Amino acid sequence: MKLSKVALLLGGNLGNREENLKSAIVFIESQAGTLIKRSSIYKTAAWGIENQEDFLNQALLLETALVPHELLNVLLNIEKELGRIRDQKWGPRIIDIDILYIDDLVINDDDLKIPHPYLHERKFSLVPLEELSPDWIHPIFKKNISTLIAECKDQGKVAIY
């Protein structure tokens, strides 16, 4: 059985944000794989639709035996279980679980894009990921996380919570 190394980003700006992150981690550990490492929690400015509450974000590294689409389905079910309602792209949410990368895979399906297509444009994803996986090389851009951060035009606030 091949285990894949996966980086996830958790985020949310509704309800008890800290508790929602903790609950998501419990579900992820029980359904998706073995947690290897977690980043600090970051308070971040909203991205995409900026006139909403700040988010709390946390990156996770895990090992999973799930294939990419199985992992996606498990994560979508966890979001639903925690009360996520998808009614507005980039709008307020209780929880969001994004797959940032899976090993060095590149997937470009209608329902799954790996690495995350906006990863290099979002400091709120890059900064926690750098804490966990500073040596990871983006398989499309062939750049490490610190280079991606240096080149990122996102000016949104990202600070340890």
The pLDDT value given to residue 141: 97
For 85-129, what is each residue's pLDDT tens digit?
766 666 688 899 999 999 999 999 999 999 999 999 999 999 999
Domain region containing 82: 4-160
Q: Does the annotation count 93 as an active-site position?
A: yes
Global model pTM greater than 0.85: yes
- Which one of the listed residues 93, 104, 111, 122 is annotated catalytic? 93
Given the residues 38, 84, 122, 154, select the one marked as catalytic.
84
Burial letters for 123-141: b for 16+ Cβ neighbours within 10 Å, e otherwise? Answer: bbbbbbbbbbbeebebeee
98 is catalytic: yes
How many folded domains does the chain comprise?
1
Residue 66 sits in a domain whose CATH number is 3.30.70.560
Task: Please give the pLDDT value at position 84.
Answer: 76
Among candidate residues 17, 96, 122, 154, the one labeled active-site is: 96
pLDDT of residue 50: 72
Does 84 participate in catalysis according to the annotation?
A: yes
* Predicted pLDDT at 88: 64
Tell which wins on pLDDT, 52 or 150: 150
Residue 80 has pLDDT above 70, yes or no: yes
